[in-house]
C-alpha cells in the first residue's frame, strides 16, 4: 500500500541574519584595512614624489646659480638672477617668501652667496656684506634651526640673521634671500699681513628648499675665473673722431658688461680721468682739451691739447683692481695751423751759418723750412721742408768788412695739414739776427769719449772740455764727420753725467764723433772716432 510522502524543514539550507551580519562585518574590516594600506601607500608615494621634486628643484637652483656670471653672484643679487630664469620665478600665490609650485606642491626657496678668502695664498682686506663669516665651532645644528622655523611664517624664537642662519640657508625676513650669509662688518689687515691683493678666491652658494614635512639644504662652490670675470668695456664712442672746431672738451660714452667699481679714461696709455655712471651699464665722460690758442706767433697754453692723433681708451675695474677687455678710439685734433717754432738760435760756424730750434709741440708736424733775409729784404728759403730741427746755410753772405753794415736774419716756419689734408704753412718763428760784430770763441774739445753697449743700444760718455768757454750743448756725429752725418744734439742737464744713447743702431756697429757747441752755435774740433 502506498504511503503519503512528507517533506521536512530539516532538509532546507541557508544563512541566518546573524550569520549575514557577521560576514558583512568581517568584509568591512577587511575593506577598511585594505583602504588604509592603499591610503598609506598613496601618502607615502606623494611624500616621496614631493621629496624627489624638491631634490630636483634644488639641483635646478644650484645649476642656475652656477651659470650666473661671477660678478652677479652677490648676497643680494643671486636670488634675483635665479628668479629670472624660466620656471624658477616666484609663483606669487600669496605665500610669504620665494615660492615655486611643482605638481600641486609648494616649495619655499632661499638662496645666498658669500665670498671666501682661501688662506693658502695669503689673506687680504674683507669688505662688509661680501665675505663669508668665520665658521663657528662646533658647526650649527641646521636640522634644529630649520625645524624651528615654521614654513611660510617668520622663524621661531631664537632664530636671527646671524652666521648660523646664513650657513643653514634661513630666510629670516622671507624675501627669498638667505640672511646672515655674509659678514656685516669689514675686516682690515696690516700691510705686512695683507699679502693677497685679490682675496676673492671663490664664492659659496647656500640654497635651501623647504616643503611641508621636509627640506633640502645644499652648499656649492664657484671658483674665481680670474680676469675673465672682471668687468669689460664693450664699446667706447666719441661725439666726433675729428676735432677741427674750437670746442674745449670731447664727450665720450662707454658701455660695460658687468658693474665695475670705476671706469677710467686713458690718453695714450696714461690715466686722465674717470667716467660717471648713467645707469644700465652705460657711462659718460669728457676729455678736456682746453681752449685753442689762436694768436699768431703765440705758443700753446699749458692746458691746451695741441693738434695730432691721440688714442683714448676706457678700462673698467672691479673693487680689487682687476679689469677686463678695453676699448679704444683714435681722435684727430686739428684746430689750427702749425705753431711758431720755439727757441730758434743761429750763429756762424766757420764760413756757414747754423740754425737750430726746438722740436714741434704738435703731433701732426710735417717738417720745417728755414728762410733768410738780408738788410730787411725779402725772405729766401735756404733749407727746404724737412723733419730735422737744424739747418746749415752754406751759402750765407760772409761777415761784412770794416766800415760795412749788414743785417742777416733767419726765421723758421713749420708745416702741418689742414682738415682737408692739404699741406699748410704755420706761424713764422721769431726772427734771429746774426751779430757779426760779436767775437765768439768755440769751446775746447771734449775729452775721454767712450762707447759701450746696453740692451742693444750704444751709450756714449765723455768729459767736459777745458777752457773758459762753457758749452751750451754737444753735437754727435755717426758714420762720418760732415754736417750730413750729424746724428743729434745732447743738451746739458746740470749735475747729470755727460752721456748720449743711440737707440737706432739697427744692430750694426758705427763710428762716433762728438763736438762741444756754445750758445752762438760755434763748434769745437771733433773728438773721435770710437766704434761700437
| Residue pLDDT, tens place only, 96-154 | 789 998 878 889 999 999 999 988 888 888 888 899 988 888 888 888 888 876 554 44
Predicted confidence at residue 407, as pLDDT, reads 93
- Per DSSP bridges, beta strands 276-279 and 242-243 are unpaired
Question: In what helix (H) or strand (E) does residue 224 lie, and over which residues does it extend?
Answer: none
Nearest-CA neighbor of 253 among 305, 318, 327?
A: 327
Q: Which three cell numbers stand for residue 268?
A: 695714450
In the structure grid, which three cell numbers stand for residue 178, read together?
638667505
**Residue 201 — φ and ψ, nearest 5°?**
-75, -40
Specify whether the CB–CB gap between 519 and 467 falls below 8 A.
no
Instruction: Find, among 508, 405, 421, the residue nearest to 456 by Cα.
Output: 508
Could you tell me if 454 and 501 are in contact, meaning their C-beta atoms sit under 8 angstroms apart? yes
Bigger pLDDT: 399 vs 319: 399
Q: Return residue ranges of the chain for CATH 2.60.40.10.
A: 234-329, 345-434, 447-531
Q: CA 360, 363, 366: angle at the middle one, nearest 5?
A: 70
| C-alpha–C-alpha distance, residues 223 and 218, integer Å | 17
User: Which of 89-103, 176-190, 253-267 is predicted least confidently?
Assistant: 89-103
Q: How far apart are CA 454 and CA 349, in angstroms?
A: 34
The mean pLDDT value for 24-34 works out to 77
**Residue corresponding to grid cell 624660466:** 86
CA–CA separation, 116 and 382 (whole Å): 73
Q: Which whole number is the average pLDDT over 257-275? A: 92
Segment 512-532, tens digit of pLDDT: 999 999 988 989 999 999 999
- Predicted local distance difference test score (pLDDT) of residue 192: 65
Q: Who wins on pLDDT, 141 or 312?
A: 312
Average pLDDT of the residues of the chain: 88
Q: How many CB atoms lie within 10 A of CB 73?
A: 20
What is the chain's Cα-based Rg? 45
pLDDT at residue 287, rounded to an integer? 97
In this prediction, residues 253-258 reach a mean pLDDT of 92
Closest CA to 476 of 457, 466, 462: 462
pLDDT interval class at 268 (50, 70, 90): very high
pLDDT over 90 at 175, yes or no: no
Tell me the mean pLDDT in the region 424-433.
96
DSSP for 231-295 reads --EEEEEES-SEE-S--SEEEEEEEESS--SEEEEEETTEEEEE-EEEETTEEEEEEE--PPP-S
* CATH label, 447-531, candidates 2.60.40.10, 3.40.50.1980, 3.30.530.20, 3.30.450.20: 2.60.40.10
Those residues whose C-beta lies under 8 Å from the C-beta of residue 156, and which sit 6 or more positions away, are: 148, 149, 150
What pLDDT was estimated at residue 11? 52
Indicate the fold that domain 234-329 takes in CATH.
Immunoglobulin-like (2.60.40)
Rounded to whole angstroms, the Cα distance separating 385 from 395 reads 17
Residue 529: asked if its preceding bond is cis (omega within 30°), the reply is yes
Segment 282-302 shows an average pLDDT of 95
CA-based torsion, 51, 55, 60, 62: positive or negative: positive
Helices (H) and strands (E) in the chain, counts: 4, 28
Task: Give the pLDDT confidence score for residue 43 in this predicted structure.
Answer: 59
Bridge pairing between strands 447-454 and 408-417: unpaired
**Where on the phi/psi map is residue 361: left (φ > 0), alpha (ψ -120 to 50), or beta?**
alpha
DSSP state of 485: G
Q: What share of the chain is helix, strand, coil (3-state, %, to 5)?
A: 15, 35, 50
Contact 432, 340 (CB under 8 A): no
Please name every residue paired with 112 in a beta bridge, in sequence order, or none if there are none: 206
pLDDT reported for residue 489: 92
**Secondary structure of residue 309 in the 3-state scheme:** strand
Between 391 and 322, the higher pLDDT residue: 391
pLDDT at 351: 86
Cell of 472: 751750451
Query: What pLDDT score does 62 carry?
Result: 93
Spatial distance between the Cα atoms of 227 and 321, rounded to a whole number of angstroms:
10
The helix/strand/coil state of 163 is helix
Q: Domain 345-434 belongs to what topology? A: Immunoglobulin-like (2.60.40)
Cα–Cα distances in Å, from 447 out to 59, 142, 266, 452?
Answer: 82, 86, 45, 16
Q: pLDDT over 90 for what percent of the chain?
A: 54
Q: Are 515 and 446 in contact (CB under 8 A)?
A: yes
Contact indicator for 509, 481 with CB cutoff of 8 Å: no
Q: What is the mean pLDDT of residues 336-362?
A: 94
Q: What average pLDDT score do residues 249-254 get?
A: 97
Q: What is the pLDDT of residue 45?
A: 66
Which of 8-12, 108-112, 348-352 is least confident? 8-12
Residues in the chain: 532
**Percentage of the chain surpassing pLDDT 70?**
91
- pLDDT band at residue 493 using 50, 70 and 90 as cut-offs: confident
pLDDT of residue 5 exceeding 70: no
pLDDT of the residue at 157: 44
Mean pLDDT of 317-325: 83
Q: Please tell me which residue, 479 or 439, carries the higher pLDDT value.
A: 479
46-55, 196-205, 399-408, 478-487 — which one is most confidently predicted on average? 478-487
**Residue (of 275, 220, 225, 219) closest to 252 by Cα position:** 275
Residue 430 phi, psi dihedral angles, 5° rounding: -60, 145
CA angle 263, 265, 268 (to 5 degrees): 145
**Is 319 a residue whose pLDDT tops 50?**
yes
Q: Evaluate whether 462 touches 425 at the Cβ level (below 8 Å).
A: no
Using the predicted structure, report yes or no on whether residue 310 has a pLDDT greater than 50: yes
Going by pLDDT thresholds of 50, 70 and 90, the confidence category of residue 377 is very high
Q: Has residue 209 got a pLDDT over 80?
A: yes
Amino acid at each position: 500500500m502506498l504511503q503519503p510522502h512528507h517533506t521536512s524543514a530539516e532538509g532546507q539550507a541557508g544563512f541566518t541574519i546573524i550569520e549575514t551580519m557577521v560576514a558583512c562585518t568581517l568584509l568591512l574590516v577587511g575593506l577598511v584595512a585594505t583602504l588604509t594600506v592603499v591610503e598609506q601607500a598613496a601618502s607615502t608615494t606623494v611624500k616621496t614624489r614631493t621629496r624627489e621634486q624638491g631634490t630636483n628643484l634644488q639641483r635646478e637652483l644650484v645649476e642656475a646659480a652656477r651659470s650666473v656670471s661671477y660678478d652677479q653672484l652677490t648676497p643680494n643679487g643671486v636670488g634675483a638672477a635665479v628668479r629670472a630664469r624660466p620656471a624658477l620665478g616666484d609663483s606669487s600665490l600669496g605665500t610669504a617668501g620665494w615660492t615655486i609650485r611643482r605638481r600641486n606642491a609648494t616649495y619655499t626657496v632661499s638662496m645666498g652667496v658669500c665670498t671666501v678668502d682661501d688662506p693658502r695664498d695669503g689673506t687680504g682686506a674683507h669688505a662688509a656684506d661680501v665675505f663669508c663669516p668665520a665658521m663657528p665651532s662646533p658647526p650649527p645644528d641646521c636640522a634644529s634651526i630649520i625645524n624651528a622655523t615654521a614654513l611660510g611664517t617668520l622663524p621661531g624664537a631664537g632664530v636671527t640673521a646671524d652666521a648660523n642662519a646664513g650657513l643653514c640657508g634661513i630666510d629670516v625676513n622671507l624675501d627669498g634671500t638667505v640672511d646672515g650669509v655674509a659678514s656685516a662688518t669689514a675686516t682690515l689687515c696690516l700691510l705686512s699681513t695683507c699679502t693677497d691683493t685679490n682675496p676673492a678666491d671663490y664664492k659659496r652658494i647656500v640654497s635651501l628648499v623647504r616643503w611641508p614635512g621636509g627640506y633640502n639644504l645644499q652648499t656649492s662652490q664657484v671658483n674665481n675665473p680670474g680676469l675673465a670675470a672682471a668687468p669689460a668695456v664693450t664699446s667706447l664712442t666719441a661725439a666726433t673722431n675729428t676735432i677741427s672746431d674750437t670746442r674745449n672738451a670731447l664727450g665720450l660714452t662707454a658701455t660695460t658688461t658687468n658693474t665695475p667699481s670705476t671706469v677710467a679714461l686713458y690718453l695714450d696709455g696714461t690715466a686722465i680721468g674717470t667716467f660717471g655712471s648713467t645707469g644700465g651699464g652705460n657711462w659718460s665722460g669728457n676729455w678736456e682739451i682746453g681752449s685753442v690758442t689762436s694768436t699768431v706767433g703765440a705758443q700753446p697754453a699749458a692746458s691746451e691739447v695741441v693738434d695730432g692723433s691721440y688714442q683714448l681708451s676706457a678700462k673698467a675695474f672691479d673693487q680689487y683692481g682687476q679689469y677686463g677687455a678695453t676699448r679704444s678710439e683714435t681722435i684727430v685734433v686739428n684746430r689750427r695751423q702749425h705753431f711758431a717754432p720755439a727757441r730758434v738760435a743761429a750763429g756762424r760756424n766757420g764760413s756757414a751759418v747754423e740754425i737750430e730750434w726746438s722740436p714741434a709741440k704738435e703731433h701732426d708736424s710735417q717738417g720745417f723750412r728755414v728762410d733768410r733775409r738780408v738788410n730787411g729784404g725779402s725772405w729766401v728759403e735756404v733749407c727746404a721742408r724737412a723733419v730735422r730741427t737744424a739747418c746749415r746755410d752754406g751759402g750765407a753772405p760772409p761777415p761784412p768788412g770794416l766800415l760795412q753794415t749788414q743785417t742777416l736774419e733767419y726765421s723758421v716756419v713749420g708745416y702741418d695739414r689742414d682738415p682737408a689734408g692739404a699741406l699748410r704753412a704755420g706761424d713764422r718763428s721769431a726772427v734771429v739776427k746774426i751779430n757779426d760784430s760779436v767775437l765768439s770763441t768755440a769751446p775746447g774739445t771734449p775729452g775721454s769719449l767712450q762707447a759701450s753697449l746696453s740692451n742693444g743700444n750704444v751709450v756714449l760718455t765723455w768729459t767736459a772740455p777745458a777752457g773758459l768757454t762753457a758749452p751750451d750743448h754737444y753735437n754727435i756725429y755717426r758714420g762720418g764727420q760732415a754736417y750730413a752725418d750729424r746724428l743729434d744734439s745732447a743738451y746739458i742737464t746740470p749735475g747729470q753725467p755727460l752721456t748720449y744713447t743711440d737707440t737706432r743702431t739697427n744692430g750694426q756697429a758705427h763710428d762716433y764723433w762728438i763736438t762741444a757747441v756754445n750758445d752762438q752755435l760755434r763748434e769745437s774740433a771733433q773728438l773721435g772716432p770710437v766704434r761700437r
